[in-house]
Amino acid sequence: MCGIIGAVAQRDVVDVLLAGLRCLEYRGYDSAGLIVVNSQGQSSRLRRVGKVSNLVCAAAKTMLLGETGIAHTRWATHGQPEEINAHPHVSTNIAVVHNGIIENHELLRKNLQDEGYTFVSETDTEVIAHLVNWEQKKGGSLLEVVQRVVLHLHGTYGMVILDIYFPGILIAARSGSPLVIGCGRGENFIVSDPMALFPLTRFFLYLEEGDIAQISCNDIIIIDRHSNVVQRRKIESHLEYDSYDKGVYTHYMQKEIYEQPQVIQNILAYRCKNGLISFDELDDSAYALLKKAQHIKIVACGTSYHSAMVAHYWWESLAKVSCDVEIASEFRYRQSVVRENSLLITLSQSGETADTLAALRLSKQLGYLGSLSICNVASSSLVRESDFALMTNAGIEVSVASTKSFTTQLVLLLLLVTKFCSLKDKQSLVEQDTLESLEKLPTYMTQVLLQDILFSELAKELSEKNHVVFLGRGDHYPIAMEGALKLKEISYIHAEAYAAGELKHGPLALIDTNIPVIILAPNNTLLPKLKSNIEEVRARGGLLYILTDTNSGFVNSERVRIIFLPHLKDVIAPIVYVLPLQLLSYYVAVRKGTDLDKPRNLAKSVTVE
């Protein structure tokens, strides 16, 4: 987490830094700060608790001028979100912004205290500032000093260092947290996400693991982990910047929910032509690998984990290949057995989630056939480090709560499973069936979104509750989990999801007249079983909200609300059933007045474990 931006220019960079921080705020918004230095070596540092807007207001009232600067928006790991813990951290002439966690910070702190350094914050980052200052006393350029400093650091970092006494140069180091150099004309930048530089440049150099870079106005030197000077390929980005405009919507989340039918329509138009699915990104070797796969392992976190869980049902029911799904933070720290000819799939919106990335790196030592990433950010670490990647093409997702990245992941997964069926069996009819079902998906999604007044009304009742239970069976169990996650993360209402068949094994004890129970009841083969589970809840006085087909036989009654959705083919039902849950969470959060695009304690890109 945390957003970093640095600039070296021949003009004042305060506005560049502040505009960049606004763009990076999705990475954390506990506190923000910057330091700028002018060519005479005069520096000013400003830090504020809370959102970047607090820093922007303070900057407007402060005399800040400088052609070299670094800035940071923080998601607290070590130390409370207080001004004293906000970055940049300074040790006499050395200023540092840092994303990541220095695991041996306590030992380093103790050693530096013994050397006479005084710490003013509780952060691990202040250790880096003092360490650079201490190493600098032994001589060498700042680049050489940082090369020596990183040898002391255990953990992860993307950091940018500035020597106030020698402005015009920034040193950046990457290990576990992404950093990208933006190349301007007579000015250069360093940033944790290239999007923050789109108004300034479209040309980027992605630092690789272990790289240390020296950046000045007209020169960039990159040293790799083996201390060799290296060139990194300059990449031009063609991403759209206008996604940062909310348009007619009040919130990014609302905009992103409503974008889904169009985004999916575009994906289908691009990927499905003449009755066939095509993946331009995959070459012959990728297809050979897919053909060879006898087992699928999917690793992901959060919402991406939920889409992986849905895909688990598809891999086994449609493609008849075994699949297991695991949370990345669990997978990376346990001893696992790799089944023969297993393909590892990682799923991630950002492609920078620390645990998912670590899981991918671990898989390379474990004997997987290969790795395929399904991701929304083409330039991300996950995509660059995977053998093959498929883009979800959801467009930029700004809201912290994932919506369109979830449904586009599902579409991509369904296309992949379907393609796999055709690869394994040329006679397979799955491709034809899936494409027929998907054709109508955008229309069904639009029909559901058009009922938004109904969901806004239902949200009135839900917003007064403290606990909500979600139930689903089969491939709708992960959708129930996603509904519960959406509700808790943006409305702060406690929500739990259960596989409906599990109710009587414990959770039924929770049910009383105060607990709303939201049930996903598509008209499929599991409906009769689900109806029995619904009766068990009804008999205990639960307040039921049933999402179902028009012809599934439910009727409204006291304490039972039926929400009718279109009749759907089984394979696309989960992709449609999540929409009412997204809308419900959105409207509950609106009623509760939470900062729903930036919910408390969360950040969009989880780059620390």
Residue with tokens 């009841």: 521
Q: Which among 249-257, 342-350, 386-394, 450-458 is the span making contact with ligand F6R, rule CB under 6 A? A: 342-350
401 is an interface residue for ligand F6R by CB under 6 A: yes
Give min distance, CB of 485 to ligand F6R, in A.
6
- Taking CB atoms, the residue at the shortest distance from ligand F6R is 302
Spell out a b/e string for 415-454, using b for 16 or more CB atoms within 10 Å of the CB, else e.
Answer: bbbbbbbbbeeeebebbeebbebbeebbebbeebbeebeb
Residue 283 tokens, joined? 């070459």
Quick check: is 598 catalytic? no
CA–CA separation, 20 and 59 (whole Å): 14
| # residues contacting ligand F6R (CB under 6 A) | 14
Query: Measuring CA to CA, which residue among 145, 11, 1 is closest to residue 77?
Result: 1
Q: Which among 331-339, 344-352, 473-481, 506-514 is the span making contact with ligand F6R, rule CB under 6 A? A: 344-352
Phi, psi of 80 (to 5 degrees): -60, 160
Say if residue 507 is preceded by a cis peptide, omega within 30 of 0: no
Q: Which among 22-30, 349-357, 425-433, 532-540 is the span making contact with ligand F6R, rule CB under 6 A? A: 349-357
3-state secondary structure of 512: coil
CA–CA separation, 35 and 17 (whole Å): 9
E strands within 75-126?
89-91, 94-99
- Give the torsion through C-alpha atoms of 602, 605, 607, 608, to 10 deg: 10
Give min distance, CB of 181 to ligand F6R, in A.
23
552 is an interface residue for ligand F6R by CB under 6 A: no
CA–CA separation, 417 and 51 (whole Å): 42
* Nearer residue to ligand F6R within complex by CB, 220 or 394: 394
Give min distance, CB of 32 to ligand F6R, in A.
21
Helix ranges (DSSP H) in 137-193: 142-149
Tell me the CA distances in angstroms from 597 to 23, 403, 492, 513, one per residue in order.
Answer: 13, 12, 13, 32
Give min distance, CB of 141 to ligand F6R, in A.
37
* Nearer residue to ligand F6R within complex by CB, 304 or 434: 304
Give min distance, CB of 75 to ligand F6R, in A.
12
468-487 binders of ligand F6R (CB under 6 A): 485
Give min distance, CB of 278 to ligand F6R, in A.
25
CA–CA separation, 347 and 562 (whole Å): 34
In the chain, % helix, strand, coil (3-state, to 5) comes to: 40, 25, 35
CA–CA separation, 128 and 137 (whole Å): 14
* Nearer residue to ligand F6R within complex by CB, 27 or 105: 27
* Nearer residue to ligand F6R within complex by CB, 49 or 596: 596
Burial tier of 287 (Cβ tally within 10 Å: 0-12, 13-18, 19+): middle
Contacts of 310 by beta carbon, 8 Å cutoff, 6+ apart:
410, 413, 475, 478, 479, 574
195 is an interface residue for ligand F6R by CB under 6 A: no
**Binding-residue pattern over the window 264 to 303 for ligand F6R, x denoting contact by CB under 6 A:** -------------------------------------xxx
From the candidates 2, 23, 301, 323, which is the catalytic residue? 2
402 is an interface residue for ligand F6R by CB under 6 A: yes
392 is an interface residue for ligand F6R by CB under 6 A: no
Give min distance, CB of 74 to ligand F6R, in A.
18
Mode of pairing for the β-strands spanning 543-549 and 516-521: parallel
356 is an interface residue for ligand F6R by CB under 6 A: yes
| Among residues 349, 434, 552, 582, the one that binds ligand F6R under rule CB under 6 A | 349
> Is the Cα torsion angle 215, 221, 222, 226 positive or negative in sign?
negative
Neighbours of 134 (CB within 10 A): 20
| Among residues 175, 254, 348, 386, the one that binds ligand F6R under rule CB under 6 A | 348
CB 29 within 8 A of CB 400: no
Give min distance, CB of 352 to ligand F6R, in A.
7
Quick check: is 375 catalytic? no
* Nearer residue to ligand F6R within complex by CB, 97 or 253: 253
3-state secondary structure of 60: helix
Return the half-sphere exposure (C-beta side, CA atoms, 13 A cut-off) of residue 108. 23
* Nearer residue to ligand F6R within complex by CB, 76 or 401: 401
* Nearer residue to ligand F6R within complex by CB, 43 or 353: 353
From the candidates 255, 297, 486, 604, which is the catalytic residue? 604
| Among residues 197, 296, 495, 606, the one that binds ligand F6R under rule CB under 6 A | 606
**Binding-residue pattern over the window 296 to 335 for ligand F6R, x denoting contact by CB under 6 A:** -----xxxx-------------------------------
Give min distance, CB of 317 to ligand F6R, in A.
24
Give min distance, CB of 138 to ligand F6R, in A.
41
489 is an interface residue for ligand F6R by CB under 6 A: yes
* Nearer residue to ligand F6R within complex by CB, 73 or 350: 350
* Nearer residue to ligand F6R within complex by CB, 254 or 303: 303
Contacts of 272 by beta carbon, 8 Å cutoff, 6+ apart:
278, 415, 435, 438
* Nearer residue to ligand F6R within complex by CB, 99 or 523: 99
| Among residues 125, 342, 350, 386, the one that binds ligand F6R under rule CB under 6 A | 350
Residue with tokens 């049930």: 519
- Binding residues for ligand F6R, rule: CB under 6 A, are 301-304, 348-350, 353, 356, 401-402, 485, 489, 606
> Looking at the annotation, which residues are catalytic?
2, 604
